[in-house]
Protein backbone atom coordinates (compact mmCIF):
# COMPACT_ATOMS: atom_id res chain seq x y z
CA UNK A 1 0.00 0.00 0.00
CA UNK A 2 1.71 3.26 -1.09
CA UNK A 3 0.03 5.17 1.77
CA UNK A 4 1.66 3.02 4.47
CA UNK A 5 5.18 2.23 5.60
CA UNK A 6 4.57 -1.14 7.23
CA UNK A 7 6.66 -4.27 7.73
CA UNK A 8 5.47 -7.60 9.14
CA UNK A 9 7.24 -10.93 9.50
CA UNK A 10 6.48 -14.35 10.98
CA UNK A 11 9.14 -16.83 12.07
CA UNK A 12 8.54 -20.51 11.25
CA UNK A 13 5.44 -20.19 9.08
CA UNK A 14 5.04 -23.97 8.94
CA UNK A 15 4.36 -24.07 12.71
CA UNK A 16 1.76 -21.28 12.81
CA UNK A 17 -1.26 -23.49 13.43
CA UNK A 18 -0.01 -25.52 16.38
CA UNK A 19 2.93 -23.78 18.00
CA UNK A 20 4.01 -20.48 19.42
CA UNK A 21 5.73 -18.35 16.80
CA UNK A 22 7.34 -14.93 16.85
CA UNK A 23 6.10 -11.94 14.91
CA UNK A 24 7.66 -8.57 14.22
CA UNK A 25 5.72 -5.55 13.01
CA UNK A 26 6.96 -2.02 12.41
CA UNK A 27 5.56 1.09 10.79
CA UNK A 28 6.01 4.83 10.44
CA UNK A 29 2.82 6.66 11.39
CA UNK A 30 1.29 8.83 8.70
CA UNK A 31 -1.46 9.93 11.11
CA UNK A 32 -1.40 10.72 14.83
CA UNK A 33 -3.20 8.39 17.22
CA UNK A 34 -5.26 10.12 19.89
CA UNK A 35 -8.07 7.63 19.33
CA UNK A 36 -7.73 4.31 17.54
CA UNK A 37 -10.41 1.92 16.37
CA UNK A 38 -10.02 -1.56 14.89
CA UNK A 39 -12.40 -3.52 12.68
CA UNK A 40 -11.58 -7.14 11.91
CA UNK A 41 -13.46 -9.51 9.63
CA UNK A 42 -13.00 -13.25 9.17
CA UNK A 43 -13.96 -14.48 5.72
CA UNK A 44 -14.14 -18.21 5.06
CA UNK A 45 -14.55 -19.45 1.49
CA UNK A 46 -15.77 -16.00 0.40
CA UNK A 47 -18.37 -15.54 3.17
CA UNK A 48 -17.97 -13.17 6.11
CA UNK A 49 -18.48 -15.26 9.25
CA UNK A 50 -17.24 -12.84 11.90
CA UNK A 51 -17.09 -9.06 12.16
CA UNK A 52 -15.48 -7.50 15.25
CA UNK A 53 -14.76 -3.89 16.19
CA UNK A 54 -13.24 -2.32 19.27
CA UNK A 55 -11.85 0.97 20.54
CA UNK A 56 -8.14 0.52 21.30
CA UNK A 57 -7.18 4.09 22.22
CA UNK A 58 -9.23 6.91 23.64
CA UNK A 59 -8.43 9.79 25.98
CA UNK A 60 -7.96 8.42 29.50
CA UNK A 61 -8.32 4.77 28.46
CA UNK A 62 -5.58 3.33 26.29
CA UNK A 63 -5.14 -0.43 25.81
CA UNK A 64 -1.92 -0.17 23.80
CA UNK A 65 1.48 1.36 24.52
CA UNK A 66 1.55 3.28 21.24
CA UNK A 67 -1.63 5.25 21.93
CA UNK A 68 -0.83 8.96 21.74
CA UNK A 69 1.95 8.57 19.17
CA UNK A 70 2.33 11.40 16.68
CA UNK A 71 2.55 11.46 12.90
CA UNK A 72 6.08 10.49 11.81
CA UNK A 73 6.87 8.43 14.90
CA UNK A 74 7.70 4.73 14.68
CA UNK A 75 5.76 1.81 16.12
CA UNK A 76 7.55 -1.49 16.68
CA UNK A 77 6.28 -4.74 18.20
CA UNK A 78 8.10 -8.01 18.60
CA UNK A 79 6.80 -10.96 20.54
CA UNK A 80 5.28 -14.42 20.66
CA UNK A 81 1.83 -15.37 19.38
CA UNK A 82 0.10 -18.68 20.10
CA UNK A 83 -2.97 -19.65 18.13
CA UNK A 84 -3.43 -23.05 19.79
CA UNK A 85 -5.40 -24.44 16.86
CA UNK A 86 -5.28 -28.24 16.61
CA UNK A 87 -6.44 -28.46 13.01
CA UNK A 88 -7.47 -25.95 10.35
CA UNK A 89 -10.27 -27.30 8.13
CA UNK A 90 -9.68 -27.10 4.39
CA UNK A 91 -10.64 -23.87 2.67
CA UNK A 92 -9.72 -20.24 2.03
CA UNK A 93 -9.45 -18.00 5.10
CA UNK A 94 -9.01 -14.24 4.97
CA UNK A 95 -8.57 -11.97 7.97
CA UNK A 96 -9.14 -8.33 7.09
CA UNK A 97 -8.12 -5.70 9.63
CA UNK A 98 -8.43 -1.91 9.48
CA UNK A 99 -7.22 0.61 12.07
CA UNK A 100 -8.64 4.13 11.93
CA UNK A 101 -8.03 7.21 14.07
CA UNK A 102 -10.30 9.92 15.44
CA UNK A 103 -10.37 11.66 12.04
CA UNK A 104 -11.49 8.43 10.34
CA UNK A 105 -8.10 8.27 8.59
CA UNK A 106 -6.72 4.78 7.97
CA UNK A 107 -3.70 4.28 10.21
CA UNK A 108 -3.05 0.72 8.99
CA UNK A 109 -4.86 -2.02 7.15
CA UNK A 110 -3.98 -5.58 6.22
CA UNK A 111 -5.48 -8.66 4.65
CA UNK A 112 -4.00 -12.04 5.59
CA UNK A 113 -5.01 -15.01 3.47
CA UNK A 114 -4.46 -18.68 4.31
CA UNK A 115 -5.31 -21.37 1.80
CA UNK A 116 -5.46 -24.83 3.35
CA UNK A 117 -5.94 -27.77 1.02
CA UNK A 118 -3.66 -30.27 2.73
CA UNK A 119 -4.87 -33.70 3.76
CA UNK A 120 -4.08 -34.50 7.36
CATH number corresponding to 7-116: 2.60.40.770
pTM of the model: 0.72
* Partners of 22 in the β-ladder: 80
Query: 32 in helix, strand or coil?
Result: coil
- 110 Cα distance to chain centroid: 6
Given a contact cutoff of 8 angstroms between Cβ atoms, the answer to whether 57 and 36 are in contact is yes
Task: For the chain, give every domain's residue range.
Answer: 7-116
Convert the pLDDT of each residue in 57-116 to its tens digit: 988 877 778 888 899 898 888 888 776 666 767 888 898 999 999 999 988 888 888 777
Convert the pLDDT of each residue in 9-43 to its tens digit: 777 655 555 567 788 888 888 889 899 999 999 99
What radius of gyration do the chain's Cα atoms show? 16
Amino acid sequence: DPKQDFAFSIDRCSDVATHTFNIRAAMVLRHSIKELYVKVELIINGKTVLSYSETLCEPGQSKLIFCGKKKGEHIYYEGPVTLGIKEIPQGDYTISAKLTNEDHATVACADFTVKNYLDY
